Amino acid sequence: MYTSFSLLSFRRLFVMLVALFGFALAGCDKNDVAKPAPTPEQNIEQLARGNSALSIVQVAQSNPNFSVLVAAVVKADLATTLSSAGPFTVLAPTNAAFARLPAPFNTAANITAITDAAQVAALKNILLYHVLAGRKAAADFPTGTSAQVTAKPASAPDVNDNTVYISKNNNRLFDRILINGNTRVITADIAASNGIIHAIDKVLMFPTGKITDLVVAATTGSNPQFTLLLKALQRPAAAALLTAAADPASNLTVFAPTDAAFRLLLAQLHLNDLDQVPDATLVAVLKLHIIGSRAFSSDLSSGSFFSNQVVTTLGGPVTVAGTVSFLTVRGPGNKFAPANARPTDLLASNGVVHVIDRVLLP
């Protein structure tokens, strides 16, 4: 009898222990297992939920994902300005955005160690190019394209090197707000007492020359490019187009064929030299590569390779398809051989350049 009772008691005790152990495990799973560290984006999103009592500088200081930006603001002696009444709108690059830059602008430690006065001045202008006057929430930017003058001083009275260009599409699921074509607002409307912050995924670089300056600069160096495009634009018959590309007051978009694109065209035409192309033909081709307004990849993108957008150039319509990161362009004569646009959004003070690997044909 004693043995039977002990065995029964032991079985009950074993069941109770198993139940208690299982409950303990469940409690550990729920409360004690380490949670993954928040991503930088999650840090920013948490920050955006309410810091309206802090200045822009204090908001940036309170989140480690802006530590490089804070170091840059301090080095450029802008902390006092951005802590003042304002209000300001700051397009704030994340640490990952700064990491894309070459040294010494890529880390907080490198920026803090800068001693060259010219580099400090360059850093200050870069930062001012990210500051807009007034408090501009995402909803305040108009749908479509708009230009916003920044706090960076223009380098000369007739030079437009202090403007950022906003592309906003309320119907697009992703990339709702883009700046200068390829910089994405990853978290908008981070509140501050003296303004508002929009976190962005790239550092914005202001233009340092006109379209012609970009083309000419590319013709030199170890891997010269655009030599044939420049030769075409320098043809007397194309003088008006070259003048427009060099005019500081212009606002153009240029699809710029590479040298390889022009060589491919000459081979297709069974010609040996660009000089053999008649003036009228050459001008008609060049006009097909120029839009009379500034159009970034985000403005040209149809969002898919299965849908097209027709864009009017100085020489007539061209068809654009694809996404912001990969565009294709077809002239009427490129029906079965579209040009790939890459890289895109090369910013000039008087427009924007998209590099293409085929010459567009009427």
Q: What is the pLDDT of residues 300-315, one digit of tens each?
A: 986 666 678 899 999 9
332 and 280 within one domain: yes
191 and 330 within one domain: no
Q: Which of 181, 200, 219 is the last residue of a domain?
A: 200
Asked if the structure places residue 121 within a domain, the reply is: yes
Asked if the structure places residue 106 within a domain, the reply is: yes
Asked if the structure places residue 139 within a domain, the reply is: yes
185 and 58 within one domain: yes
- Ranges of beta strands (E only) in the chain are 88-93, 131-133, 144-149, 163-168, 177-179, 183-192, 195-200, 252-257, 290-291, 304-313, 316-323, 326-330, 339-341, 346-348, 351-356
Asked if the structure places residue 185 within a domain, the reply is: yes
Q: What is the pLDDT of residues 256-279, one digit of tens each?
A: 999 999 999 999 999 999 999 999
242 and 325 within one domain: yes
Q: What is the pLDDT, as a whole number, of residue 306?
A: 67
231 and 183 within one domain: no
Asked if the structure places residue 294 within a domain, the reply is: yes
Asked if the structure places residue 6 within a domain, the reply is: no
Q: Which of 167, 200, 233 is the last residue of a domain?
A: 200
Q: 246: which 2 tokens?
A: 């060099």
Q: Which residue has the tokens 């304002």?
A: 86
Domain residues for 331? 211-356
Q: What is the pLDDT of residues 20-55, one digit of tens each?
A: 334 343 444 444 445 455 555 555 555 544 467 899
Start-to-end CA distance of the chain, whole Å, equals 105
Q: Which residue has the tokens 């708009």?
A: 146
| Rg of the chain over all Cα atoms, to the nearest angstrom | 28
- Inter-residue contact 102 to 122 (CB < 8 Å): no
319 - beta bridge partners?
Answer: 310, 330
Q: What is the pLDDT, as a whole number, of residue 40?
A: 52
Distance (Å, whole) CA 338 – CA 316:
16
- If phi over 0 gives left and psi between -120 and 50 gives alpha, with beta otherwise, what is residue 80? alpha
Asked if the structure places residue 13 within a domain, the reply is: no
242 and 185 within one domain: no
Q: pLDDT tens digits for the chain (362 residues)? A: 434 444 444 444 444 444 433 434 344 444 444 545 555 555 555 554 446 789 999 999 999 999 999 999 999 999 999 999 989 999 999 999 999 999 999 999 999 999 999 999 999 999 999 999 999 999 999 988 999 999 999 999 889 999 999 998 754 444 489 999 999 999 999 999 999 999 999 999 999 999 999 999 999 988 999 999 999 999 999 999 999 999 999 999 999 999 999 999 999 999 999 999 999 999 999 999 999 999 999 899 866 666 788 999 999 999 999 887 789 999 999 988 999 999 999 999 999 999 999 999 99
198 - beta bridge partners?
Answer: 91
142 and 86 within one domain: yes
44 and 132 within one domain: yes
Residue 331 vs residues 33, 296, 343: alpha-carbon distances, Å? 59, 18, 19
57 and 145 within one domain: yes
Asked if the structure places residue 2 within a domain, the reply is: no
SS3 content of the chain, % helix, strand, coil (to 5): 40, 25, 40
Q: What is the pLDDT, as a whole number, of residue 336?
A: 85
Distance (Å, whole) CA 345 – CA 254:
10
Q: Which of 153, 168, 200 is the last residue of a domain?
A: 200
Structurally, how many domains does the chain consist of?
Answer: 2
CATH number reported for the structural domain that contains residue 44 in this entry: 2.30.180.10
331 and 225 within one domain: yes
191 and 57 within one domain: yes
Residue type, 361: L
248 and 315 within one domain: yes
Q: What is the pLDDT, as a whole number, of residue 3?
A: 42
